Amino acid sequence: MSNREKQQGLREKSFIKFRHDDYIIVIARHNRFAWIKHTDSKYVYFMYITRLQKSFIGHNTSEVAEFNILCFCGMYNNFMHLIQNMMPILSEYILDSKKIVEIVMLCEDLYENDADCPD
């Protein structure tokens, strides 16, 4: 195993990416910003949902390209806030409940055992 592979293995996972049909769901964790004072959580979480759409590049050409269209973006104060809001939002874009559960299970990799989840 190379040194680079070892370093990547030691890094924490900071985002997950999931593709379902034309939708791409990205859920990310980031260190809390200094200006966020209303939470003691070490991290903030983001969820982005984009949809791939083909469209013409210009008005005078027949060339087609694939674009990412932003459907949803949200910021969450802590991991519990993310999980509580995730299911209803994902169900608007994904009708298969098994896929939604799979995404929620992948989010467990983003959970950092600090003061994120109150007992």
Question: For position 98, what pLDDT does the model report?
Answer: 92
110-119 mean pLDDT:
57
What's residue 73's pLDDT? Answer: 95
**Cα–Cα dist 119/109, whole Å:** 19
- Give the global pTM: 0.73
pLDDT of residue 12: 62
Confidence of residue 85 (pLDDT cuts 50, 70, 90): very high
> For position 78, what pLDDT does the model report?
86
Structure confidence at residue 115 (pLDDT): 46
Domain ranges of the chain: 14-110
Give the mean pLDDT of the chain: 80
